[in-house]
Homo-oligomer: A and B are copies of this chain.
């Protein structure tokens, strides 16, 4: 047994492989067959050997496999030979389009567990999954879907925290049990996804591109388009048409930097909207036991993404603003301001209000961005995991509202009283920041209402399980955080 364990490791010096997890598994030393000799087959063999299994690889042309590609302990045979040697587990490490080429082995594979490790070729194919087609081809075998999300790299170097899960599904509980056991012995966390009908979803998973981000990115992008388009109309196109005033150079930087803070502010408000709405819903219904509408549930789960996108926009706005003095146009304005003062023969007058305004809006902006950074840092998995629930709430809700308040103040100080002057409304269109600041202000006011003692007491009671008109006292444990609403 010990030889099984160590020999291949000695021969595979580059990749440290973890030692098998369970002695019993080694005792019986079951033979696992792998059909196919590609990268996945090779990595899987390395891992299985390192975990104390006997491995036999079946390939159509054994003699073409370069020596040294597989660990020495792996037996290389043709496909028939491999299947005949297999215990009950056979990994199908070949492309799904070649499954039918194995039809001759149908009877040899009968009763064995076939593990389909393939991925879907494309996202939107609505036909049967690879695993289901395999099950059709080999009706007498137990087909189990699994291991497709594990990369060859993870097989070789050992699983990391985020990638330890192995999703498994099958119509055969017996087959599933065996693969679950194997996965655990290989150091993975098997996750049972149910029957083979779930295979499609498992096969598509590695093809998904940030599924939890798409909605938030779309919203942010549309907001940007709106503010950019509005700013273009109000600040560039209409003035050009009306007065022939050419400021198209502002498209590249100035207008972007005008739209970004508006997007950041609205997106940040959108982070806190669903929580508030959920609270009002609970107050109104007088219970926490009614499910939220699904759009609200979805929105609640996207708050982190919205918050990070808001932070991204705010940071870009910050950097763009700091680039201001590097622009050619700034030099031009500065020099000409000085020139005009000289021509007029008077010093630039001291502008107390203007000085205060710039100090205040810069200050609020920097602090707001600083608080947002703290929020972003705690949203890193490795940092967030170390927080207890109260700390999480403090950061996400407490610091979040501080950031929102500072951002609103930044905007209001920036706007000063200009919004009350008629010149701020050329073509009757208010400046972007006026549009952007409305929703955040409403959110903040609603939040303040929730802090009123009479309302907050009632809300706390509801979240502890109290119901407004109840017949029967359902006792509740005080882990009150349904959906972690701050």
Interface residues of A (CB under 8 A from B): 2-3, 5-6, 9-10, 13, 16-19, 21, 23, 36-41, 50, 59-61, 64-66, 93-95, 98, 101, 117-119, 121, 149, 151-153, 158, 160-163, 165, 167-168, 173-174, 176-177, 180-181, 184, 187, 189-195, 205-210, 249-250, 252-254, 256, 289, 312, 315-316, 318-329, 331-332, 334-339, 341-342, 347-348, 350-352, 354-360, 362-363, 366, 369-370, 380-391, 394, 464-465, 471-482, 484
Min CB gap A65→B, angstroms:
8
Q: Which residues of B contact A394 (CB under 8 A)?
A: 209-210
**By the criterion CB–CB under 8 Å, are B66 and A194 in contact?**
no
Give Cα A207–Cα B334 distance, bound, in whole angstroms. Answer: 55
The A contact surface, by secondary structure, is helix
**By the criterion CB–CB under 8 Å, are B207 and A390 in contact?**
yes
Give Cα A368–Cα B210 distance, bound, in whole angstroms. Answer: 21
Q: Which residues of B contact A162 (CB under 8 A)?
A: 382, 384-387
**By the criterion CB–CB under 8 Å, are A16 and B348 in contact?**
no
Give Cα A256–Cα B365 distance, bound, in whole angstroms. Answer: 14
Apart from A39-B481, A94-B477, A250-B359: 15 A-B pairs, beta carbons within 8 A = A2-B176, A9-B192, A16-B191, A37-B476, A60-B472, A118-B478, A153-B481, A208-B388, A318-B319, A321-B326, A326-B362, A328-B351, A329-B358, A338-B341, A382-B382
Q: Which residues of B contact A41 (CB under 8 A)?
A: 477
Can you sample 6 A-B contacts with CB below 8 Å? A6-B192, A37-B476, A40-B479, A95-B477, A118-B477, A320-B362
If A162-B386, A350-B332, A380-B383 touch, does A359 touch B472 (CB 8 Å cutoff)? no
Q: Which residues of B contact A149 (CB under 8 A)?
A: 388
Give Cα A385–Cα B41 distance, bound, in whole angstroms. Answer: 22
Give Cα A481–Cα B362 distance, bound, in whole angstroms. Answer: 46
If A193-B16, A339-B347, A481-B39 touch, does A385 touch B94 (CB 8 Å cutoff)? no
**By the criterion CB–CB under 8 Å, are B151 and A17 in contact?**
no
Give Cα A10–Cα B173 distance, bound, in whole angstroms. Answer: 12
CB-CB nearest 7 A-B residue pairs: A162-B385, A38-B476, A61-B472, A382-B382, A2-B173, A338-B338, A328-B358
**By the criterion CB–CB under 8 Å, are A331 and B334 in contact?**
yes
Q: Which residues of B contact A318 (CB under 8 A)?
A: 319
Give Cα A480–Cα B93 distance, bound, in whole angstroms. Answer: 12
Which residue of B64, B173, B189, B369 is within 8 Å of A5 (Cβ)? B173
Give Cα A391–Cα B472 distance, bound, in whole angstroms. Answer: 50
Give Cα A325–Cα B333 distance, bound, in whole angstroms. Answer: 14
Give Cα A225–Cα B380 distance, bound, in whole angstroms. Answer: 31
Min CB gap A44→B, angstroms:
9
**By the criterion CB–CB under 8 Å, are A60 and B9 in contact?**
no
Give Cα A355–Cα B250 distance, bound, in whole angstroms. Answer: 9
Give Cα A210–Cα B374 distance, bound, in whole angstroms. Answer: 14
Q: Which residues of B contact A61 (CB under 8 A)?
A: 471-474
**By the criterion CB–CB under 8 Å, are A18 and B189 in contact?**
yes
**By the criterion CB–CB under 8 Å, are A391 and B173 in contact?**
no
If A173-B5, A329-B358 touch, does A476 touch B39 (CB 8 Å cutoff)? yes
Q: Which residues of B contact A98 (CB under 8 A)?
A: 475
Residue of B nearest to A59 (CB): B474
Which residue of B18, B39, B168 is within 8 Å of A482 (Cβ)? B39
Residue of B nearest to A340 (CB): B347
Q: Which residues of B contact A151 (CB under 8 A)?
A: 389, 479, 481, 484
**By the criterion CB–CB under 8 Å, are A177 and B5 in contact?**
yes
Looking at A187, A338, A347, the one whose CB has the most chain B CB atoms below 10 A away is A338
Q: Which residues of B contact A380 (CB under 8 A)?
A: 380, 382-383
Min CB gap A154→B, angstroms:
10
Min CB gap A168→B, angstroms:
8
Q: Which residues of B contact A65 (CB under 8 A)?
A: 474
Give Cα A362–Cα B189 distance, bound, in whole angstroms. Answer: 48
**By the criterion CB–CB under 8 Å, are B322 and A326 in contact?**
yes
Give Cα A88–Cα B168 distance, bound, in whole angstroms. Answer: 32
**By the criterion CB–CB under 8 Å, are A163 and B355 in contact?**
no
Q: Which residues of B contact A334 (CB under 8 A)?
A: 331, 334-335, 338
**By the criterion CB–CB under 8 Å, are A327 and B359 in contact?**
yes
**By the criterion CB–CB under 8 Å, are B473 and A253 in contact?**
no
If A3-B173, A189-B158, A366-B316 touch, does A206 touch B16 (CB 8 Å cutoff)? no
Residue of B nearest to A192 (CB): B9
Min CB gap A474→B, angstroms:
6
